[in-house]
Amino acid sequence: MKVAVQPIPDGRRITRDTEAVVIDVLRATTTLTVALANGAAAVRPAASPEAALALRAGQPGALACGERGGRIVPGFDLGNSPFEYTPERVGGRTLLFASTNGSLAMVAAARARRRWLGAFVNAGALVQSLGSAAHATLVCAGKLGRPALEDMACAGWLCARLVEHGAELDGEGARFAASLAPADAREVAALVANCPHAREMAELGAAWVRDLEFCGRVDTVNRAFAL
């Protein structure tokens, strides 16, 4: 397997011959991994809140989910905290998801053979699921068009694990991400808690601090999910 990394999404360079792994540690792909583990039927990324609401109007029972500026969008059913996506709330439901960065990365990766949700919480399961792929592209969502440290570090963590399984890094993006890989789970937690995006989230309140702690855990979900 060859593994490439995009520090920010570039849909023009994603083709049918690659498995795309979309990474938005804080918080979209962490949250959606939890949602699917808790029985959500499907995730449909939307490019905007308006698009998610329009989709919901035509899909009875679907939930409009996501955030702007870290907070739930007015009129949405759920925000972007993993703690909101309980089995009781999302079981059997389709999630129409629009977030500031993560959903745009999912849309950008639409031409890939498959789109996987990547985060620290399911990193081990994801590595196992990608084992037979010939090529994977790790698509970091970033923040407002700029690379995000936590996403690149997660890509680096995945690169390191995949290399242990015989993968080859493909390009400067992958090599740079690998250089940012935390050494162990303790370093993951510290990096996620102290990255610039985390400091912004922490200012929103205690619930967001709890999300940060959750997003910085490794392998708490033992399954990998594709859209």
Q: Note the pLDDT tens digit of each residue in 50-72.
A: 999 999 999 999 999 999 999 99
Q: Is residue 144 part of a domain?
A: yes
**Interval 202-223: pLDDT, tens:** 999 999 999 999 999 999 999 9
Q: Is residue 79 part of a domain?
A: yes
Q: What average pLDDT does range 18-25 have in this prediction?
A: 98
Q: Is residue 220 part of a domain?
A: no
Here the CATH number for the domain that contains residue 151 is 3.90.1560.10
| pLDDT, position 131 | 85
Tokens of 162: 């995949």
Contact status, residue 65 vs residue 80, Cβ threshold 8 Å: yes
Q: Is residue 174 part of a domain?
A: yes
**pTM check: above 0.85:** yes
- Three-state secondary structure call for residue 70: coil
Q: Which domain covers residue 12, as residue numbers? A: 2-215
Q: Is residue 103 part of a domain?
A: yes
pLDDT for residue 132 is more than 90: no
Q: Is residue 50 part of a domain?
A: yes
Q: Is residue 225 part of a domain?
A: no
Residue 20's φ and ψ, nearest 5 degrees, are -90, 135
pLDDT for residue 179 is more than 90: yes
Residue 47's φ and ψ, nearest 5 degrees, are -75, -15
Domain count for the chain: 1
Of the chain, the percentage scoring pLDDT greater than 70 comes to: 100
pLDDT for residue 154 is more than 90: yes
Q: Is residue 222 part of a domain?
A: no
Pick 132 or 72 by higher pLDDT: 72
